[in-house]
């Protein structure tokens, strides 16, 4: 055992350090793709990396040329088998990864190394096609540092420097590249729309709201804390109970599932004018939507228009031209007090349709209640009273509904969450001949006191109803909100159902919880800033930034001019710094002496970098004979401190003092 350990340790020492840097850097660059790419490709990639490491450990030999050709063929076949294509985002990345790992099998000349390192950088870029978060950015910076270290280690391999020196050089290089990267980022001309027009692939899952809703099929409402979008209000924040974030209207019901018809009406890209009367003050806000892979956008009920590259549908949904695959930011105006569609009754029969045979008991109840009511508005109120008075409970874990979800919910178990209530309520409305639809979206949101913006999470997803009443138009009704607080199973849900009650009864959290919450807000603030300034930096943001610099209406030609001008300036500054080349001084003695040199340099007598202290003093004294004594004193002290065997007592203090008093 001990023998084996020693043998391995010996082999480990044999591994060339540059190769090690590269293998570690490459492995870490590939790590985020694990789970994103199929195992059919990830496993061979890992195997090839291991093979190369084994070769470096002198345990195995590299494959022959024949075998390499065979492996290339297998890799192509595996990619094809996984995606049925070799291009596109996922297949392209997969092909890059596997071929790069294959290149490790024939990496023996400097040229091969250069190719592998260059492609590794490219793999780092591909990670951002899938994940643009701040954490991933930090991780990738680490990987880039490792790869750059490999690059410096390879190019200076013959110098046999300690590996820390290579790491330091790589870090210095990256730090020097930072201003150039910043400049390129800010001034490189942006094109409107998503940057990546790669063929989309079906495999990527969507998050967030769905365009169908089937209460009773889900036995558990997820508590997903992921951010759906963030909102910054330009003026005052509307009260919490008006924060209904309108998403999709679900108009088609088949007895079990509510559907949105937009997907089927895709070709019909007609934008509707929204005819409504605003009765309150406008609310302006900027919304930053996390990518959810679908086409719809969210807006505060009721939006006054649609952002660019999107349209308004008949049901006042905002549908974007392309699905939201990257972070999307838009500014909108909404009115929280409005009257919509007050004119004629909606023509579309869909708002009234109920599939025959479904919910017989609900129809009876509707007929009964309608007969008792004076008008439609009274009927609506009676239905809400029914929900309030009968023992309906709000729960995140409702029982599964089997045959007729609406009837079973309304009359048998009476336990559910917003979807159940919205669905049953809308059915009851339609059964009495009132045009109604289910609206899905989000409700509420959490104010981040550290950044003065709202965070709306997936757990804020909500469903409610819209009912058309003669003379009042489409009215938003949230049947979930009428459940008394006592019938809410989980106190946490009160925040949504009855925020005022929840605020009165909320316990004061202890300091640890408060701190945790505060840290959560802080982290979200940082993420929000990242999204706003880095990911959301599109053409508009770029124009805004330039106009703040006093440059209005910059077309792309001038932008390129600015870009190159800026790059030239930065390079010139770096070059100037290099020419001056003030050597790094980390110790106190050197620091004090450097100060002395700077003082003389300001008088036109700079020390050359390769000039020793003695030579310097001998050159300077004839020019400034009146300073001879001081210069000699300082020079001698410095030389003693730096080069002599035993430093004079209090030498450093004396040196510092002498330099301080030295006034050329």
Partner 1 sequence: MKSHAKESLDALVAAAGRIMLGKENEIRLALACLLARGHLLIEDLPGVGKTTLAHTLARVLGLQYQRIQFTSDLLPADILGVAVFEQKSGRFRFQPGPIFAQLILADEVNRATPKAQSALLEAMEEQQVSVEGETRPLPTPFFVIATQNPASQIGTFPLPESQLDRFTLRISLGYPDLHAERELLAGEDRRKLLHDLSPVLDGTQLQALQADAGRVHAAEALLDYLQALLVFSRQSPHFAHGLSPRAGLSLLHSARAWALMAGRDHVLPEDVQTMLPHVAGHRLQAAEAGGDAQRLVALLQAVPIP
Instruction: Please identify every residue annotated as catalytic.
Output: 418, 462, 478
CA dist., res. 253 & res. 251, Å (int) = 6
DSSP 8-state assignment for residue 488 = B
Closest separation in Å from C-beta 526 to partner 1: 39
For 440, the token pair is 């899905």
Interatomic CA distance for residues 472 and 340, integer angstroms: 8
Helix, strand or coil, per DSSP, at residue 108: coil
Of the pair 581, 649, the CB lying nearest partner 1 is at: 581
Q: Does 609 bind partner 1 (CB under 8 A)?
A: yes
Listed in sequence order, the residues at least 6 apart from 319 whose beta carbon sits closer than 8 Å to its beta carbon are: 262, 295, 296, 297, 310, 311, 312, 313
Of 213, 259, 240, the C-alpha closest to 300 is 240
Q: What is the DSSP letter of 47?
A: H
Question: Closest approach of Cβ 601 to partner 1, in Å?
Answer: 15
CA-to-CA separations, 473 to 261, 276, 331, 374, 476, in angstroms, rounded: 22, 9, 27, 18, 10
The length of the chain is 664
493: left (phi over 0), alpha (psi -120 to 50) or beta: alpha
In the bound state with partner 1, the residue whose beta carbon lies nearer, of 151 and 482, is: 151
Burial of 637 (0-12, 13-18, 19+ CB in 10 A): buried
CB of 648 to partner 1, least distance (A): 12
Interface mask toward partner 1 for 144-183; x: CB under 8 A = ------------x-xx-x----------------------
| Smaller CB separation from partner 1, 554 or 592 | 592
Instruction: Compute the least distance from the CB of residue 613 to partner 1, in Å.
Output: 8
Q: Smallest gap, in angstroms, from Cβ of residue 645 to partner 1?
A: 4
| Shortest CB 659 distance to partner 1, Å | 18
With respect to partner 1, which residue has the nearer C-beta, 95 or 170? 170
391 binds partner 1 (CB under 8 A): no
Q: Which is nearer to partner 1, 581 or 663 (CB)?
A: 581
- Least CB distance to partner 1 at residue 654 (A): 18
Regarding 533 and contact with partner 1 (CB under 8 A), the answer is no
Find the binder of partner 1 among 72, 639, 652, 662 (CB under 8 A): 639
Distance of CA 70 to the CA centre of its chain: 40
636 forms part of the interface with partner 1 (CB under 8 A)? no
C-alpha span between 8 and 560 (Å, rounded): 55
Cβ nearer to partner 1, comparing 582 with 602: 582
User: Applying CB under 8 A, what is the total number of residues that bind partner 1?
Assistant: 18
* Region from 118-126, 133-141, 348-356, 635-643 binding partner 1, contact rule CB under 8 A: 635-643
Our finding on whether 578 is near partner 1 (CB under 8 A) is: no
Residue choice 222, 331, 389, 614 for contact with partner 1 (CB under 8 A): 614
- Minimum distance from CB of 151 to partner 1 (Å)? 15
Position among 110, 355, 612, 625 found at the interface with partner 1 (CB under 8 A): 612
SS3 content of the chain, % helix, strand, coil (to 5): 55, 15, 35
Q: Does 649 participate in binding partner 1 (rule CB under 8 A)?
A: no
621 is a site residue for partner 1 (CB under 8 A): no
d(CA 113, CA 538): 36
Q: Of the two residues 142 and 165, which places its CB atom closer to partner 1 in the complex?
A: 165
Q: How far is the CB of 129 from partner 1 (least distance, A)?
A: 38
CB atoms within 10 A of CB 638: 22
Could you say whether residue 645 binds partner 1 (CB under 8 A)? Answer: yes
Q: Using the 8-state DSSP alphabet, how is residue 373 labeled?
A: -
SS3 127: helix
Binding residue (CB under 8 A) for partner 1 from 642, 652, 662, 664:
642
Q: How many CA atoms lie within 13 A of 548 on its CB side?
A: 6
583 part of the interface to partner 1, by CB under 8 A: yes
Name the token pair of 385: 């009273």
Give the span between the Cα atoms of 351 and 431, in whole angstroms: 11
Q: Which is nearer to partner 1, 185 or 643 (CB)?
A: 643
Assign 579 to helix, strand or coil.
helix
CB nearer to partner 1: pick between 548 and 581: 581
Is 643 a binder of partner 1 (CB under 8 A)?
yes
Measured from the CB atom, the residue of 567 and 647 that comes closer to partner 1 is 647
CB atoms within 10 A of CB 78: 18
Which of residues 162 and 391 has its CB atom nearest to partner 1 in the complex?
A: 162
Give the interface segment with partner 1, choosing from 217-225, 293-301, 476-484, 603-611 (CB under 8 A).
603-611
Q: Can residue 581 be called a binding residue for partner 1 (CB under 8 A)?
A: yes
Q: What is the widest separation between alpha-carbon atoms in the chain? A: 115
**What dihedral angle (degrees, nearest 10) is formed by the CA atoms of 371, 372, 375, 376?**
-70
Residues within window 41-100 making contact with partner 1, judged by CB under 8 A = none
SS (H, E, C) 456-477: EEHHHEEEEEEEEECCCEEEEE
CB-based contacts of 511: which residues, under 8 Å, 6+ apart?
none
Task: Compute the least distance from the CB of residue 590 to partner 1, in Å.
Answer: 8
Q: Segment contacting partner 1 (CB under 8 A): 28-36, 278-286, 544-552, 610-618?
A: 610-618
- Taking the complex as a whole, how short is the minimal distance between the CB of residue 580 and partner 1, in angstroms? 11
Q: Are the beta carbons of 300 and 332 closer than 8 angstroms?
A: yes
Q: Is 382 helix (H, G, I), strand (E, B) or coil?
A: helix
> Binding residue for partner 1 (CB under 8 A) from 439, 613, 620, 627?
613
Could you tell me the two tokens for 441?
């979206």
Is residue 633 a contact point for partner 1 (CB under 8 A)? no
Continuous segment of H or E residues that includes residue 381: helix 376-389
Strands (E), 136-222: 212-213
Q: Compute, in degrees rounded to 10, the torsion defined by CA atoms 298, 301, 303, 307.
A: -10
* Minimum CB distance to partner 1 smaller for 159 or for 205: 159
Site for partner 1 contains 611 (CB under 8 A):
yes
CB 610 to partner 1: min, Å? 5
Binding window for partner 1 (CB under 8 A); candidates: 51-59, 415-423, 609-617, 653-661: 609-617
Query: Applying CB under 8 A, which residues contact partner 1?
Result: 156, 158-159, 161, 581, 583, 609-615, 639, 642-645
């Amino acid at each position: 055992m001990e023998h084996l350990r020693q043998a391995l340790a010996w082999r480990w020492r044999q591994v060339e350090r540059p190769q090690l840097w590269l293998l570690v850097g490459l492995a870490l660059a590939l790590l985020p793709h694990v789970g994103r790419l199929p195992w059919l490709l990830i496993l061979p990639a890992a195997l090839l990396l291991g093979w190369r490491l084994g070769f470096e450990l002198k345990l195995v030999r590299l494959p022959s040329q024949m075998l390499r050709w065979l492996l290339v063929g297998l890799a192509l076949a595996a990619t094809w088998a996984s995606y049925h294509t070799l291009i596109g985002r996922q297949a392209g990345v997969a092909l890059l990864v596997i071929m790069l790992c294959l290149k490790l099998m024939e990496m023996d000349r400097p040229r091969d190394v250069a190719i592998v390192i260059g492609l590794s950088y490219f793999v780092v870029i591909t990670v951002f096609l899938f994940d643009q978060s701040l954490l991933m950015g930090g991780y990738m910076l680490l990987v880039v540092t490792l790869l750059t270290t490999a690059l410096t280690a390879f190019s200076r391999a013959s110098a046999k420097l300690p590996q820390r020196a290579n790491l330091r050089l790589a870090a210095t290089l990256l730090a020097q590249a930072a201003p150039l990267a910043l400049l390129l980022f800010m001034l490189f001309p942006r094109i409107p729309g998503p940057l990546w027009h790669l063929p989309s692939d079906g495999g990527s899952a969507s998050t967030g709201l769905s365009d169908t809703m089937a209460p009773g099929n889900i036995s558990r409402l997820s508590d997903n804390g992921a951010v759906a979008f963030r909102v910054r209000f330009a003026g005052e924040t509307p009260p919490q109970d008006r924060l209904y974030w309108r998403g999709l209207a679900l108009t088609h019901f088949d007895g079990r599932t509510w559907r949105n018809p937009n997907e089927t009406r895709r070709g019909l890209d007609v934008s509707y004018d929204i005819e409504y009367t605003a009765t309150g003050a406008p609310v302006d806000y900027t919304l930053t939507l996390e990518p959810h892979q679908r086409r719809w956008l969210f807006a505060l009920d009721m939006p006054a228009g649609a952002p660019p590259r999107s349209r308004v549908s008949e049901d006042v949904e905002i549908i974007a031209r392309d699905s939201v695959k990257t972070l999307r930011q838009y500014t909108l105006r909404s009115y929280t007090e409005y009257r919509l569609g007050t004119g004629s009754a909606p023509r579309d029969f869909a708002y009234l349709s109920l599939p025959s045979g479904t919910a017989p008991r609900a129809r009876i109840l509707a007929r009964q209640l309608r007969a008792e009511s004076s008008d439609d508005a009274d009927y609506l109120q009676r239905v809400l009273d029914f929900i309030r008075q009968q023992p309906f409970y709000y729960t995140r874990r409702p029982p599964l509904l089997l045959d007729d979800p609406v009837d079973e919910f309304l009359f048998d178990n009476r336990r559910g969450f917003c979807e159940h209530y919205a669905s049953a309520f809308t059915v009851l409305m339609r059964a009495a001949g009132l045009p109604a639809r289910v609206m899905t979206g989000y409700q509420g949101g959490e104010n981040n006191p550290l950044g003065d913006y709202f965070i709306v999470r997936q757990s804020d997803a909500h469903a409610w109803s819209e009912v058309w009443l003669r003379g009042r138009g489409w009215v938003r009704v949230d049947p979930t909100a009428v459940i008394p607080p006592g019938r809410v199973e989980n106190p946490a849900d009160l925040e949504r159902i009855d925020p005022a009650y929840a605020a009165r009864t909320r316990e004061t959290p202890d300091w640890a919880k408060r701190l945790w919450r505060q840290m959560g807000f802080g982290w979200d603030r940082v993420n929000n800033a990242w999204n706003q300034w880095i990911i959301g930096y599109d053409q508009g943001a770029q124009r805004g930034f330039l106009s703040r610099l006093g440059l209005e209406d910059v077309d792309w030609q001038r932008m390129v001019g600015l870009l190159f001008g800026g790059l030239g300036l930065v390079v010139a500054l770096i070059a100037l710094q290099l020419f001056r080349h003030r050597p790094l001084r980390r110790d106190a003695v050197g620091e004090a002496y450097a100060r002395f040199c700077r003082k003389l340099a300001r008088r036109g007598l700079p020390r050359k970098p390769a000039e020793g202290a003695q030579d310097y003093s001998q050159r300077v004294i004839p020019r400034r004979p009146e300073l001879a004594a001081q210069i000699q004193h300082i020079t001698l002290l410095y030389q003693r401190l730096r080069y002599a065997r035993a430093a004079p007592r209090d030498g450093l203090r004396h040196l510092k003092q002498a330099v301080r008093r030295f006034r050329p």
